[in-house]
Chain A
C-alpha cells in the first residue's frame, strides 16, 4: 500500500472501529445489574422464517403466564429479552453468548432448533447458566449430554415416537413403512418407534430417508404403494410436513394406507396449509387444545382471548409450562437468583397441573415426564375447523436417559 492509502485505511479502521465499539457496547454498557433488580429471562427463538410460528407460540404463552402474575415474582419484576436465532447455528450461538455474557440473564430458555441446542450446551454448562429447553427435542440432551443446569419442559424426540409403535401394532396394522428426512433425528425417531413396534409383532416393510427440504416425494410415494404396507409411520415438520401430506393425498395413498406420525406432522403451524388432505392422520403428541381437563380449558380460553382468536398448540403449551416452572421455582426461593444451586433444586422439584396433565421433571434426566402421549386423529369439528382430536392415550412416558449421569 502507498503511504496515502495506508493512512486512509488506518483512518477508516479507527473511524469504523470506533463506531463499531460505540454501537456494540452502547446498549450493553447501559444495562445495570443489581440484585433486587428485575429477574432476567432470555429467549433464544426463531422470530423470522418458516419456524417463526413456533417461536411466537412459545413466547405468547410465556407472556400469558407472566401477565397473569403481573410481571412480578417474589417482589421482583420479570424482564424477558428476546433474541432471534434465525434457525441458524452460528447466530444461535452468538445470541446465546450475548444473553449470557452481556445481558447476564438469570434463566435462559429456548431454542427451537436442536442443532443450536447442541452447540450452546457447553457454553451453558460451563458458565453455570440455567437453561430451560422450551422446544428442541434432541435426545442427547437427556442422555449423554445432560447437565445439572439444563431442564427441558418440551419433549425429547423419543417421547412421542416410542409409544406409537405398540399402539399402531395393536390398533391399526402390523405392517408398516417408515419414512423420515435423512438426518440423525429422523433416523432416531424411526428407531424409537421400532422399540415397541417389534415386540408387539410388527414388521417394517421398508424404510426411506428423503433429503431434508425435499419438494418432490413422488418416487418415495410410489415405493410405499409398492411395498404393500398397510400404514406409514412418518416424521416430517415444517415445509416438508406440508408437501409430504399433500402429495400423499395426490397419489391416492391417503385413502388406502393409514398415515401415522409424531404430532409435528399436523400441528397448527402446518395444518392450515395441508387443509383437508390431513384428515384422518393419526399422530402422537403430549398435547392438543381439545384436551378436556380444567387447566387446559382455562388456558385455551385465556389464550384465545388474549391473542384474538388464535388457538394454542403444543408449542404454546411448552411455553406455558416453561413460564410456570420459572414462576413457581422463583417463588420457592423467594426471588433469590444468586444461589444457583438452590434455584436448580427448586426447579427440579416443581410440580403442578399443566394443560397437558400433571407436570413434573424426571430427576434422572431433568426432562419432562409426559403425563400422557395422546393418540390424536385429524378431524374437522364444527365451529373449530381442522384440529387434532384425542382418541386414545399412553400414560407416563419417560425418556430412558441412557448415558445420563446427574449431577454432571
Chain B
C-alpha cells in the first residue's frame, strides 16, 4: 500500500513549495494592499535578495548572516525606488506606476548580469539544515522542513506586526484614509516609503531563502513573477491571510498537477488565474472591488 506514503510525500513537497510561494508573494500583496501599486519589479527584489545573500555568503561564509543581510539590503533599495521613482508618479495614473516597475525589471536584471555575469550560482544551505530525514519510507531534505517552519513563522510575525502593534495600526490607517492620517500629524509619505521598503525586504528575504533550492541567476526574477501574481490574485490583493492560504493552495495544486496531470501542468496556473479573476476578482480574502 504505497499510495499513502506517496500521497504524503507529494503533500509535503506541496507544503514546502507553498511556503516558498508565501514568502515570495506576501511582500507583493502587502505593497498592493497598502499602496495600491502592483509592483512588477517584485521578482527583481527576489533576485536581488538572492544575490545579496550570495555576496554575503562569499564574504562571511555564514548563511544566517546572508539571510539577515539580504532583506536589509533589498529593503533599502526598495525604499530608494519608492522615494525617488514612484513618489513623483502618485499624482498620475496608477498604470504609470505599473509601467515604471516593468521598466525596472530590465534595469535590475542587467545590473546583476553586469556585476556577477550571467552564469548560474549556487547558494549552499546552512550546515545545520544540509541533511536529510527519513519519515517512514520517505527521504526529505531538512532544508525544506526549515522552509516550511520559517514560512509559518514569518506569517505569524507579520500578523502580529500588522494587527497588534502601533506601527501596524499607523500603516492600516494610512492606507484606509491617507488625508485623515496626515491630518493627525503622521507623515504618510514616510509610512509609504517604509511599507514599500518592507515589502521589498520580504521579497529579498524570499530570494535568499529560496537560494539553496533554486540557485541564483539573473533572470530568476522574471520566472517567479507570474506564480507570485497568481498567488496574490487567488488569495486577494492586499490580504496577508489570502497570501498564506493562496500559496498553500497553489503549492499543492502545482505539485499534484506535476505529479498527476503532467501534460497540462504548464497551463494550470494560468487557467486558475483566469478563473479567479473572472469569477471572484477580489480573490478569497481580498477587499471587494471598489
Residues of A within 8 A of B (CB): 48-53, 182, 208-211, 213, 215-216, 218-220, 222-223, 225-226, 238-239, 242-243, 246-247, 250-252, 269-270, 272-275
Contact = CB atoms under 8 A, between A and B. Distances in A.
Given A210-B258, A273-B215, A218 B118 contact: no
A246 B117 CA distance: 21
9 tightest A-B CB contacts, nearest first: A252-B139, A218-B13, A250-B141, A273-B122, A219-B258, A219-B259, A215-B214, A49-B118, A222-B9
Contacts of A269: 119
B93 interface: no
Interface residue SS majority, chain A: helix
A215 B255 CA distance: 12
A111 B10 CA distance: 40
Contacts of B223: 213, 215
B262 A239 contact: no
Contacts of A242: 120, 122, 215
Interface string B1-28: 0100010011001001100100000000
Interface residues of B, number: 38
Interface in B111-164: 113, 117-122, 124, 132, 139-141, 143-144
Interface in B155-195: none
B17 A50 contact: no
Contacts of A222: 6, 9-10, 13, 259
Contact of A247 (B10, B213, B266): B213
A271 to B, nearest CB: 10
Given A50-B120, A239-B215, A251-B132, A223 B259 contact: yes
Contacts of A238: 120
Given A215-B223, A222-B13, A242-B215, A250 B6 contact: no
16 contacts: A49-B113, A50-B217, A215-B223, A216-B13, A216-B255, A219-B10, A222-B13, A226-B2, A242-B120, A246-B122, A250-B132, A250-B213, A251-B139, A273-B119, A274-B122, A275-B122
A270 B118 contact: no
Interface string B202-229: 0000000000011101110001100000
Contacts of B122: 242, 246, 272-275
A182 B264 CA distance: 11
B62 interface: no
Contacts of A247: 213
A211 B120 CA distance: 18
Given A222-B6, A239-B217, A252 B132 contact: yes
Nearest to A47: B118
Contacts of B258: 210, 219-220
Nearest to A220: B258
Contacts of A220: 258-259
A52 B259 contact: no
A239 B214 CA distance: 9
Contacts of A270: 120
A219 B13 contact: yes
A213 B220 CA distance: 10
A211 B256 CA distance: 14
Given A49-B219, A218-B16, A239-B217, A225 B139 contact: yes
Contact of B118 (A53, A216, A226): A53
Given A226-B6, A251-B132, A274-B122, 20 more contacts: A48-B118, A50-B120, A50-B217, A51-B118, A209-B262, A216-B13, A216-B17, A216-B213, A218-B255, A222-B6, A222-B9, A226-B2, A243-B215, A246-B122, A246-B213, A247-B213, A251-B140, A252-B139, A270-B120, A273-B121
B255 A273 contact: no
A288 to B, nearest CB: 20
B113 A48 contact: yes
B206 to A, nearest CB: 13
Contacts of A225: 139
Contacts of A52: 117-119
Contact of B119 (A53, A182, A250, A252): A53
Nearest to B132: A252
Contacts of B254: 216
B118 A211 contact: no
Nearest to B6: A226
B203 to A, nearest CB: 16
A310 B249 CA distance: 47
Contact of B213 (A51, A182, A215): A215
B215 A246 contact: yes
Contacts of B213: 215-216, 243, 246-247, 250
